[in-house]
Structure 1
C-alpha cells in the first residue's frame, strides 16, 4: 500500500520562510510512488506507442497470454480503451489534424495508491513526467477520470493538452475505477493492474460476507461515497505530482505550489471533480477548466444526477415515441427498440405515472412530464443514446449503492454484479475475463464481462420493478431512501475560491448531464458570489465525443473536446498575462455532415 506520511510541521516551516505569505507553499502529504516506469522508444506516455493509427484500430491491443497479461500490455490496452471512450478518433473526425495531439511523448510514470483521511479504500494517483518537462516554466495539469473510469480515464483530456507542452500531468480515478474484485476466486487488482489474491496489497478489498458470490465493484461497494470527496481526490493527486517531480528532478527540488503552476481540467464526472477542487481552501490551484460537469448545487433548475437519471430511466423510453422518428436513428435498430418503448408506455399508464388511452397519447404524456421537469427536446434526443445502451439504469444501480454507502449484498433494491449467462443468470467468471477488467472496464457494469443482476425482473416490462425501486430512493421516506438522500446531500458544491479563473464548457444538446440541471445553476451561483467564472455554451454538442464515429451523430453533433482544449489555452494565457479574464461565450459549432471535420465547423474562439 502507499506509504502516506503527514508533513504538517514541514509545511508550516516552509511556509514561514516563503516569499508569498498567502500561497500554500508545499504539498500537505508526501505520497511515495509505489512504481516508477520508463516510457520511451516504442512506448510513450500519451499512446503507449500506438500512435493515432493504433488508437483508431477497431480491435484492442492483444495480450500474449489472455489469462496473464503483463502490466505493460494492460497499460497499452487501457490507453486504447480510454482514448476511444472519450475522443472522436474516426477517420473524418479531425483528431490530430484539426485539433488535438497524439504525439509520442517520452517520459516516466509515477504511480501509487493514496488514501484520504477517513476513507476505507484508496484511490489511484498517477503522474506522467515528460522528458521535455520545462523546468523554467513548471507546470502540472491535474485531472480526474470521467465517468467511473480507471486512472487513465482523462488521458485524452489532460494528457493530450499538457504533455506536448512540457507539463507533468497528474491523474486520479477519484475512488472509482476498474478495480473489481471477484468474490468466487477471492481475487482483485494490484497497483500495476495485474490480478492478485486476497491478502496481497490490492487497490480494492471488499467487505463481503463469507460465501458471497459474484463481483464487487469499487464505485458501488467502497462504502466511501467517493463522489463526496472528488475535490479532495484531485488535491491529493496534485500533492502527489509535486512529490513525484521532487523525485524526478532532485536538482530542481523542492517543487511547491508557489513555484509550480497547477491547472485542473476534467470532463463529465471529472469536470465535477475539478469544480469541487476549486472550492477547497488554500491558494494551491491556479485555474480550472470543467467540461460538461456533473455538478450539483442549490439554485433554480438544479437537480442531482440521481434525480434526473432515475426519472429518465423510467419515462424516457416512452417519451421518445413522441419525438419524430427521423429526428435521430438511435438506437441504431430503432425498429427493434420501439416495441419495448411501447411496453414501457403501457406499464407507466398502469402504474398511474402517465395518462393516455393509446401509445401516442401516453408518449405525449411522458414527454410532457419530462419537459415540465426541465428536459429540452435537444437533451431528450441525445438522451436516446443512454436509453439504447441501458445507461440510465446502470448509473442508477451503481450510484444508489455508492450514495447509501452499501457494501456487497446490501443494495436496497437487491441489485448485484456478476458474469451472466445468456438468460441473465449469474455464472462464474473466467480467468481471461478477470484479467481484462482493469484495462477494459468502464467502472460501471455492464461491460467487460460483468453484468447487472436484477432480482426484480418480471414480465412484461422486465426492468420496470427495479427502476421503480431505484426511483423511490430519490424521493421516498423510508430509511433506505433517507440513506441515499443523505449521500446525495453530501455532493452539493460551493462557489470556487475567490480569484480563481474558471471556465465551464458545456454542450447545449447534452443528453446525459443536461446543462439546465448542472452547469447553468452552478454558474448562476458562482456569478452571484462574484467569482471569476466564464460559461462557454457549445451549440450542437452532446455528451459523448466517442460516439461521433457513428455517421448519424457525426452529421448532427460537434465535438466538445476541442473547446475544452481552447479553454485551457485561454486560462493559460490568462495566467501568463497574455489575456484578460475569460468571458462568457455562445459558440455556434455544428456537425460535419457527411464530410470531414474542418476548423470552421468548430467555431473556436481566437487563440489568445
Structure 2
C-alpha cells in the first residue's frame, strides 16, 4: 500500500490556477463562483495495491467480515485509516454478499489508480467546515471533462458515497467530488481534549482539527459535527454539494495545469446521492446558475410541499412502531437477528403507550392494533412498516431523533433540550472515558450518528424499568408537537430544510423503493416529484417495488429473499442521463418497476430486477 503523501506546495499550486480561472472569465465560473476558500489541503497518490475505488481491497477484501487491521491499534497510519474507512463505507451501503449480484449483474470494484485531493470548506454563515474530497483517476480524459459530485448518505464521513458515485464514475474516467455535507465522523473526545485531524488521525485541539467543538470547559463525553456544530447543516446541503463541485474544478486546475482552466462551462457535472445524499443533490438542483448538467437522487430524504419532515415521522416511529409491529396484520416481518429478542421490549412499549394515553386497548394485542392504526392514519403503508422493523431493532429511530433535534435547534455540547449526550458506555449504559484505541478508530469506523463505533447515547431521562427510553422519546416528540422555546427552535430548523424547485430544464431522475421503511416515499420523494412536475420541471420518477432502504442488509437471508437492491437503478439512471447529455437520447419515462424477489437461497438475476427499458 502506498503511503499518503501530503504536498505542502500543492496549496500554492491549487490557489494559482483558481485565480487564473477567475480572471479568464470562464462563463459561470467567475470570481463570485470561485469564492469558497479551502483550507487543510492535501494531495495523495493511490496506485498499485492502494487504488481509489477499493483501497486495494477488491471485491474479496470488501466482502471480508472483519475490517482491515491496523498495524498498531492505538496509532493507525493515515493509509490504514483511509483503507478501513473505504471498507466500512462500502459495506454500509452496498450489498456485496455472494449471490447479491454486485460485480456480476451491476457495479464495479475494478482497481482505479489516481490521486486524491482533500480540503475543508465553509459555506457562508456557517461556523464549522465540511469536508470535500476529489478523486482524480489517471484515466481522466481532458477532452471529455466529467465530474460526478456526490454527498454522503446518512451522516457518514467523506467516503460515504463511494459505492454510489465512484463505482459508476471512476471506471468511466470521471473525477468524483465528495462532501460530508456538514456531518461525518470528525468526533471529538471531550474528556481527552482530542479530535480528528484533516488526515483522519487523532490530535489535540490546537493541531488542525476538522471539527473543534464549542464546548464548556468542564464538558465530558463525545461531540460530533452533525449534532454539535451549531449550524443546522441540512439547511445548507445544496450549498455543500456546490462547493464540492467547485473544489473539483479547483483540484483539476492544479492537477492538469496544461488543460486549465476547468470551468462549469467546459466540464460536465452530474450530481448523484442516496438517502440524505439524495436530498442534498435535490437541494443543489434548486441553486441558481447553470453549473449542474443532471441530477440522480436515490431514496431521497427531502422535505417538499405535502410531505412530512424526517423529524416528524422519525419521532412518531420511535414511539409507536415497536408496539405496532406486534400486530399480526403485519406478519410475517423480515427477520433481522434481533427480532425475536425484541418482542418483550415491544410489548412493554405497548404498555407504556397505553399508560400515556397514546394507544387504546386492554392487552398488548389490542394496543398493537391501535398503534398500527395510528401509523396508518398518518400515511404509513404496511410495506414501510414491515421494512421499518430493521430501524426499530437497531434503535435507529431514536438515534436519528436525538441527533437531528440537536442539529435543527443548533444546540451545542451540553445544551440538548431533552438532556441527551454521547459517550463511550459501560455494559450498564453508564458513561465512561473512551480508550486510546477506540478514539483512534472513530474516523474510519463511525457512521456519523451514534450509537456505533464504540460511541453510545447517554439518556439523562432514562427511567428504571423495562422501557427506560420512553420518557426521553416523549420529550423528543414534544419538540415537534408541543409548545415552548425549544419546540419553536427545532421546528424553525426543520423549516429551513424545505426544498424548492429544481432549475428549469435541468434533467432530474428520482428513484425510490416502494417498501422503504426509513424514508417512506409517501413522505419524501412522491410529494417532491408532484411539486416539481406540476411546475413543469424535467423530473422523472422510478418507483421500485420490493425495494427498501438498506441494500447492505440484503446479506441477511430473509431480507435478500424478499427485497431487491436499489443501487442497480441508481447506476442505470446515471447511464440514462449520461446518454441524454451525450446524444440527446430522451429521458426515461416515469415507471413503477415490477421486480420479482429472488426467494430463499437463490442468486439475484437480471429478471428479478426488471430494469426499465
Q: TM-score range by the shorter chain?
A: over 0.9
For residue 6 of structure 1, report the CA deviation from its aligned partner. Answer: 12
Using a 3 Å threshold, how does the CA distance of structure 1 residues 505 and 310 change in structure 2: closer, same or farther? same
Is 1:84 matched up with 2:84? no
For residue 605 of structure 1, report the CA deviation from its aligned partner. Answer: 2.5
For residue 529 of structure 1, report the CA deviation from its aligned partner. Answer: 1.1
Match of 1:558 among 564, 569, 578: 564
Is 1:182 matched up with 2:189? yes
Match of 2:513 among 504, 507, 516: 507
For residue 582 of structure 1, report the CA deviation from its aligned partner. Answer: 3.1
Partners of 2:421 and 2:457 within 8 A in 1: yes
TM-score normalised by structure 1 residue count: 0.96
For residue 21 of structure 1, report the CA deviation from its aligned partner. Answer: 8.1
TM-score normalised by structure 2 residue count: 0.95
Q: Distance in 2 between matches of 1:23 and 1:319?
A: 55
Which residue in 1 is equivalent to 2:102?
Answer: 95
Partners of 1:145 and 1:151 within 8 A in 2: yes
Using a 3 Å threshold, how does the CA distance of structure 1 residues 232 and 5 change in structure 2: closer, same or farther? farther
Is 1:391 matched up with 2:399? no
Is 1:498 matched up with 2:518? no
Using a 3 Å threshold, how does the CA distance of structure 1 residues 587 and 27 change in structure 2: closer, same or farther? farther
SS in 2 for 1:97: coil
Is 1:569 matched up with 2:575? yes
Which residue in 2 is equivalent to 1:334?
Answer: 339
Using a 3 Å threshold, how does the CA distance of structure 1 residues 540 and 408 change in structure 2: closer, same or farther? same
How many residues align structurally? Answer: 601
Which residue in 2 is equivalent to 1:377?
Answer: 382
Partners of 1:14 and 1:26 within 8 A in 2: no
Which residue in 1 is equivalent to 2:137?
Answer: 130
Q: Distance in 2 between matches of 1:165 and 1:78?
A: 23
Match of 2:318 among 300, 313, 316: 313
Q: Distance in 1 between matches of 2:343 and 2:190?
A: 38
Partners of 1:496 and 1:526 within 8 A in 2: yes
Using a 3 Å threshold, how does the CA distance of structure 1 residues 373 and 21 change in structure 2: closer, same or farther? closer
Hey, which bits of structure 1, 4+ residues long, moved more than 3 A?
Answer: 1-15, 20-33, 323-326
Q: Distance in 2 between matches of 1:8 and 1:326?
A: 59
Match of 1:522 among 528, 543, 558: 528
SS in 1 for 2:419: coil
Which residue in 2 is equivalent to 1:232?
Answer: 239
Q: Distance in 1 between matches of 2:156 and 2:16?
A: 28
Listed one character per residue, the Cα deviations across residues 470-498 of structure 1 (whole Å, up to 9, x for unaligned) are: 00001211001101011001000001000
Partners of 2:21 and 2:260 within 8 A in 1: no
Partners of 2:151 and 2:280 within 8 A in 1: yes
Q: Distance in 2 between matches of 1:72 and 1:592?
A: 39
For residue 24 of structure 1, report the CA deviation from its aligned partner. Answer: 10
Match of 1:195 among 199, 202, 205: 202
Is 1:545 matched up with 2:544? no
Partners of 2:17 and 2:260 within 8 A in 1: no
Listed one character per residue, the Cα deviations across residues 37-96 of structure 1 (whole Å, up to 9, x for unaligned) are: 000011100000000000000100000000000010000000000000000000111101
Which residue in 1 is equivalent to 2:50?
Answer: 43
For residue 22 of structure 1, report the CA deviation from its aligned partner. Answer: 11
Partners of 1:23 and 1:284 within 8 A in 2: no
Using a 3 Å threshold, how does the CA distance of structure 1 residues 98 and 290 change in structure 2: closer, same or farther? same
Is 1:434 matched up with 2:404? no
Q: Distance in 2 between matches of 1:123 and 1:465?
A: 34
Partners of 2:95 and 2:555 within 8 A in 1: yes
Is 1:469 matched up with 2:480? no
For residue 604 of structure 1, report the CA deviation from its aligned partner. Answer: 1.3
Q: Distance in 1 between matches of 2:28 and 2:331?
A: 61
Which residue in 2 is equivalent to 1:416?
Answer: 421
Partners of 1:343 and 1:461 within 8 A in 2: yes
Q: Distance in 2 between matches of 1:121 and 1:33?
A: 13
Using a 3 Å threshold, how does the CA distance of structure 1 residues 252 and 206 change in structure 2: closer, same or farther? same
Match of 1:109 among 116, 119, 127: 116
Q: Distance in 1 between matches of 2:137 and 2:270?
A: 17
Greater shift, 23-32 or 595-604, is seen at 23-32
Listed one character per residue, the Cα deviations across residues 275-330 of structure 1 (whole Å, up to 9, x for unaligned) are: 0000000000000000000000112xx10000000000000000001145751243
Partners of 2:149 and 2:270 within 8 A in 1: yes
SS in 2 for 1:76: helix
Match of 1:355 among 353, 360, 363: 360
SS in 2 for 1:370: helix
Is 1:452 matched up with 2:457? yes
Using a 3 Å threshold, how does the CA distance of structure 1 residues 326 and 371 change in structure 2: closer, same or farther? closer
Is 1:255 matched up with 2:270? no
SS in 1 for 2:119: strand
Q: Distance in 2 between matches of 1:24 and 1:588?
A: 49
CA RMSD in angstroms, aligned pairs only: 2.0
Listed one character per residue, the Cα deviations across residues 404-458 of structure 1 (whole Å, up to 9, x for unaligned) are: 0000000000000000001110000000000000000000000000000001111
SS in 1 for 2:380: coil
Using a 3 Å threshold, how does the CA distance of structure 1 residues 248 and 581 change in structure 2: closer, same or farther? same
SS in 2 for 1:140: strand
